[in-house]
Amino acid sequence: MDCSVGRTDGGTTGSHAHADTFIDRSSHFALTSLANSRARELRYAEMNQAQPSLLEDPSIGKLSGVLSFKDDIRQLAWNGQPTEVKTTEVDHDGNTVRVETFTNEFWTSKQRAGHSLHEISYRACFKPQLVDFFVQRLTDPGDLVYDPFMGRGTTVVEAALLDRAVAGCDVNPLSRVLTKPRLAPPTLTQVSERLHALDLTFGDDYREDLTVFFHPETLRTICALRSYLRKRQTAGEMDGVDEWIEMVAVNRLTGHSRGFFSVYTLPPNQAVSIDSQRKINARREQTPAVRDVVQLIIKKSKSLLRDCGDATRQRLGAHAPGAQLLVRASSRTPELRSASVDLVVTSPPFLDVVDYATDNWLRCWFCGIEADSVPITMARKLDAWRSAMTEVFGELRRVLVPGGHVAFEVGEVRGGKIKLEESVIPCGKSVGLEPLAVVINAQRFTKTANCWGISNNRKGTNTNRIVLFRNPE
């Protein structure tokens, strides 16, 4: 199993000291004037010392202009560490392109607890803090934020929580399954009542081979729930409560603890094959125990909903109805109007690092998705990856407003030998986007990464590398 991506499984975002409150770091510290640098230093010193104060209203707008973005991040310090500024140089059509490159620990899981709604696992997802960093600095409330490689929907959910309009796209229908319900979360009572009203004793399509993961009794309940959901979907009767239950069930299918339906296996976003699970069972001398599917769904729902008070629901409610969540390759998105998107925050599939189809086969089975038929971009060679990304950049340029931005995150792959940011710069430039900065968040080793068997700077790293582009006015 390939664990070479060092991004943490963003389901865990640290402790939650707040309920339904949102720290609006940059709005709290937004600097509309560049004049008073001492005052700015003091504010950042304050920010770096303590958990920033919690604001109910993320209504203060973006920093003004490009210079202020760069100045802003130049001023940031983390635990006394100033931002390091270097230059990334790349060749483009025989010319050298120089892009200022800023490195620091710009966001961490400790710095700001993520909203509980984000705690859905997905392979190679980024943290909501990354999204927050760019959304707050580069957009105003009400602006449109888009992610063309939506994954579990981190950008879409975080931007909506920050009162921005949202759009997303992913070639895998699973992405929509994971994202849509969190834009309009039901109450815990609705979830519990729906589950208790279902007869989950008999399900069609019982799959004997899945008993390597599940106790037969648990598997019968899973199959019954699956067939209920699939029938509702076919009849066009699935509502928000069904969609929520489907999303949570998908996330409880397999994992490494008693909080999942399965016997011990890999983390939930990396389903192993039936054969591999047989070997894991033999090695660990384990057989699947009975699990209470309904109670596990309720428990996880309670946890996901714990920060969902009135303010959250109001903010999401304003943006859920207009949210466009597309299922298609993001190189062609005619549903999105030209010159409509203010900011793109995204991370593409990396070369051959993650096989999203294989990782998600069991989740796709539950959702009635043919995992093998999803045309996920899996470029093994850098040239092929570059040309796939250039196509997407062309489409992003079309949908961006003049002066809009793209924050394009690439991890460090192949042990850092390939710096994808250097490849990304020419891709954007060739379609007319202006590369403004490379922002590198040098993340400390986290417990989550450790628990998933990823060690820092060895098989992967915890750095996020973001190339920031601007669409010329």
Ligand X SMILES: C[S@@+](CC[C@H](N)C(=O)[O-])C[C@H]1O[C@@H](n2cnc3c(N)ncnc32)[C@H](O)[C@@H]1O
Residues that bind ligand X (CB under 6 A): 122, 124-126, 149, 151-152, 154, 169-172, 175, 329-330, 347-349, 356, 376-377
Smallest distance, ligand X to C-beta of residue 266, A: 18
CB of 149 to ligand X, least distance (A): 3
- Hey, is 81 helix, strand or coil? strand
Pairing of strands 95-104, 84-92: antiparallel
Q: Which is nearer to ligand X, 126 or 261 (CB)?
A: 126
CA distance 68 to 32: 8
Q: Residue 178 CB, nearest distance to ligand X (Å)?
A: 8
Nearer to ligand X, 210 or 325 (CB): 325
Q: Rounded to whole angstroms, how far apart are CA atoms 349 and 330?
A: 12
Neighbours of 459 (CB within 10 A): 14
Q: Shortest gap between Cβ of 375 and ligand X (angstroms)?
A: 7
Q: What angle do CA 315, 237, 193 make, to 5 degrees?
A: 70
Structure-token pair, residue 373: 């038929």
Of 294 and 440, the one with the shorter C-beta distance to ligand X is 440
Q: Which residues pair with 456 in a beta bridge?
A: 460
Query: Measured from the CB atom, is 139 or 346 closer to ligand X?
Result: 346
Nearer to ligand X, 291 or 398 (CB): 398
Q: Given the DSSP bridges, would you call strands 81-82 and 77-78 parallel, antiparallel or unpaired?
A: antiparallel
223 close to 253: Cβ distance less than 8 angstroms: no
Question: Of 436, 406, 410, which is closest to residue 423 (Cα–Cα)?
Answer: 410
Task: State in angstroms the smallest separation of the CB of 400 from ligand X.
Answer: 17
* Shortest Cβ 210–ligand X spacing (Å): 23
For ligand X, which residue has the nearest CB?
151
Pairing of β 165-170 and β 324-327? parallel
- We find the least distance from the C-beta atom of residue 346 to ligand X, in angstroms, to be 6
> In the complex, what is the shortest distance from the CB of residue 387 to ligand X, in angstroms, rounded to a whole number?
12
Mode of pairing for the β-strands spanning 434-442 and 95-104: parallel
List helix spans (H) across 77-215. 128-138, 154-161, 173-183, 188-197
Which of residues 200 and 354 has its CB atom nearest to ligand X in the complex? 354
Nearer to ligand X, 72 or 158 (CB): 158
DSSP lists the bridge partners of residue 465 as: 410, 440
Q: Toward ligand X, which CB reaches closer, 146 or 149?
A: 149
